[in-house]
Amino acid sequence: MMRKIILILFWVTIIPTFVSGQETDSLSHYLEVAARNNPAVNAAFHGYEAALQKAPQMGAYDDPQLEIGFFLEPMSIVDGRQMAQFQLMQMFPWFGTKKAARTEAQHMAQMAFEQFRETRDNLYLEVYKQWYILCNLQQKLQNTKENVTLLKQLEDLALLKFTTGGRSSDMGEQMPMNNQQSTVNSSMGSMNMGSPSNPPQGGSSSGSMSKESSQSARSASPSWGAGGASGMSEILRIQLETIELESAVESILSEITAGKARFNGLLNRPSGSEVAVPDEIAQLPFLLDTENILQTIREQNPMLGMINEESLAYKAKAEMDKKMSYPMLGIGLQYMLIGKTPDTGGQSMGGMDMGAATNTMSSMNGKDMIMPMVSVSIPIFRNKYKAAQRESKLLQLSSEEKYTDTFNNLQAELYQSKHQLEDAVRKMALYKKQSALARTTYDLLVQEFASGKSALSDVIQTQRQLLDYQLKEAEATANYNTMVVSIWKLMSVCHPALDPQ
């Protein structure tokens, strides 16, 4: 019955309260599965259950001691012959000793509970970290695929330029009027070139016009000359960039597979189990209040709680050692089995008349004897008791110093996490602005490349910068979320209900 109560309290109060209607592929669900299935957490909880069994043991009295003795030949005593002897003794420590022992055991069990909480919080932190690693990889995969799409669009544009002699028909509406006019003139010139023996009216001006139209026609037609080779090299450069990004996509997919195996290991599931990861990583809502966080750490951090319980256990042990230096009381009972002595019939012994003595002892002859007993221990060797008390007090002082040192370390860790959190915020804002500017610049450069006003190297360089800023923004968001969860771990509070996905 007690085990069922403990398990109910464990699942109701220890596991964070999850929002109703949660999806089976949400982070909340994965945290719950990890808390239920992880072997390290289950081992720590079983250790806590075992520690709870110490209190009944420490609070129990020592077993009574029974002594039984038989005489091989009955021993003659007055009024009978003693055949056997039974002695039962129960020792009792000084008042309050067992209570102090139970208190020590309870604090030791609470230490095991705090150790379980620390193991659970470490598991949650690892699940969160691995989750955001997977989210970062998924975002990285999406950004890389988007840039592959951009490169393919750029390749189509470069191919269109190559086939149209350096001008894109898609940009025809934005081309200058003189270029359109030259195209019309080139078409007319090509028609006149069909009958050179009949020059058009207008004399030399018409011939000059035909020459210019002929040059325009050559420039507008596909050619493997200098301009054609340049256009083909641009296409090849874009294809090289595309191949590199496609290889990066394969590498990211492999990394995601390894990350999912690690994530499933935390949940104690088969490594091939599917993990649903969102395509985009979102920033966790978090308000950084240092004073309140430090107060929460002091009240709820399991490491501090474990050291505090250890100090209280040593305090109870010191009280128990003090009580142990007092006498122990024993209460017992002795029972003697006595047989009858044969009747002498009033015979004289040594000139004495034994009749009166025989009549006196006849009522007690063969009667068993019961004797209550009281035992008291005398603790006269005081040095060992004094040393035990000094040991407990020194251990208590050691725990107090350990508590202060641990809190200082946790405080330093909080401020380090605060610095990294603020740095991640600055980086997220920076990379978001740079991504927006790089995207605008890229769109403008593509238009200029289509009209021949910018080089392909500028477009590719900007595309690389755009991808780099996108990846850095996702990584900064993942680092920010990890820092938030690290602070949650310091406070020993988990918020799966805040799962932004």
CATH number at residue 107: 1.20.1600.10
* pLDDT tens readout for residues 325-355: 999 999 999 999 888 887 655 554 444 444 4
CA-based torsion, 93, 97, 103, 107: positive or negative: negative
In a domain, 220, yes or no: no
In a domain, 171, yes or no: no
CA distance 379 to 98: 18
pLDDT at 190: 39
pLDDT at 343: 63
Burial of 164 (0-12, 13-18, 19+ CB in 10 A): middle
pLDDT at 99: 93
Element (H, E) at 269: none
Among 64-78, 123-137, 358-372, 459-473, the minimum mean pLDDT is found in 358-372
**Phi and psi at residue 371, to the nearest 5°:** -130, 115
- SS3 letters across 164-210: CCCCCHHHHHHCCHHHHHHHHHHHHHHHHCCCCCCCCCCCHHHHHHH
Top-confidence residue, 377 or 501: 377
CA distance 216 to 187: 9
* pLDDT tens readout for residues 262-305: 999 999 999 999 999 998 899 998 888 999 999 999 999 999 99
In a domain, 203, yes or no: no
Among 21-30, 84-93, 180-189, 263-272, the minimum mean pLDDT is found in 180-189
- SS3 letters across 262-293: HHHHHCCCCCCCCCCCCCCCCCCCCCCCHHHH
pTM for this structure? 0.75
Q: CA 495, 498, 501: angle at the middle one, nearest 5?
A: 130
* pLDDT tens readout for residues 195-247: 433 444 434 434 443 444 334 433 443 433 444 556 788 889 999 999 999 99
In a domain, 225, yes or no: no
Specify whether the CB–CB gap between 110 and 302 falls below 8 A: no
Residue 124 has pLDDT above 90, yes or no: yes
Chain centroid to Cα 120, Å, comes to 7
Q: Which residues of 298-377 form beta strands (DSSP E)?
A: 329-339, 369-376
CA-based torsion, 272, 275, 276, 280: positive or negative: negative
Looking at every residue in the chain, the average pLDDT score rounds to 81
Top-confidence residue, 76 or 177: 76
The mean pLDDT of 364-371, rounded to a whole number, is 83
Residue 34 has pLDDT above 90, yes or no: yes
For the chain, give me the number of helices (H) and strands (E)? 13, 4
The mean pLDDT of 37-58, rounded to a whole number, is 94
Q: CA 104, 109, 111: angle at the middle one, nearest 5?
A: 95
| CA distances to 139, 225, 337, 438, 446 from 461, in Å | 21, 27, 109, 10, 12
pLDDT bucket at 16, cuts 50 / 70 / 90:
very low
Residue 433 has pLDDT above 50, yes or no: yes
- What is the largest distance, in Å, between two alpha-carbon atoms of the chain? 189
CA distance 194 to 189: 9
pLDDT at 295: 95
In a domain, 174, yes or no: no
In a domain, 176, yes or no: no
pLDDT at 369: 87
Structural domain that includes position 95: 2-161+250-340+365-498
> 338 pairs with which residues across the strands?
82
pLDDT at 35: 92
Q: Is 462 left (phi over 0), alpha (psi -120 to 50) or beta?
A: alpha
Amino acid of residue 195: S
| CA distances to 86, 98, 326, 375 from 92, in Å | 20, 9, 11, 10
In a domain, 287, yes or no: yes
Please state the domain count of the chain. 1
Q: Of all residues in the chain, what percent carry a pLDDT higher than 90?
A: 61
Give all strands of the β-sheet with 329-339 in edge-to-edge order.
Answer: 65-77, 80-92, 329-339, 369-376
* pLDDT tens readout for residues 387-421: 999 999 999 999 999 999 999 999 999 999 999 99
Strands 369-376 and 329-339: antiparallel
Q: Which of 118, 71, 107, 65 is nearest to 328 (CA)?
A: 65
* pLDDT tens readout for residues 141-183: 999 999 999 999 999 988 888 887 655 444 444 333 333 333 3
Top-confidence residue, 199 or 481: 481
pLDDT at 496: 47
pLDDT at 424: 95
In a domain, 360, yes or no: no
Residue with tokens 């910068």: 465
CA distance 495 to 438: 36
| CA distances to 74, 83, 365, 370 from 71, in Å | 6, 5, 18, 18
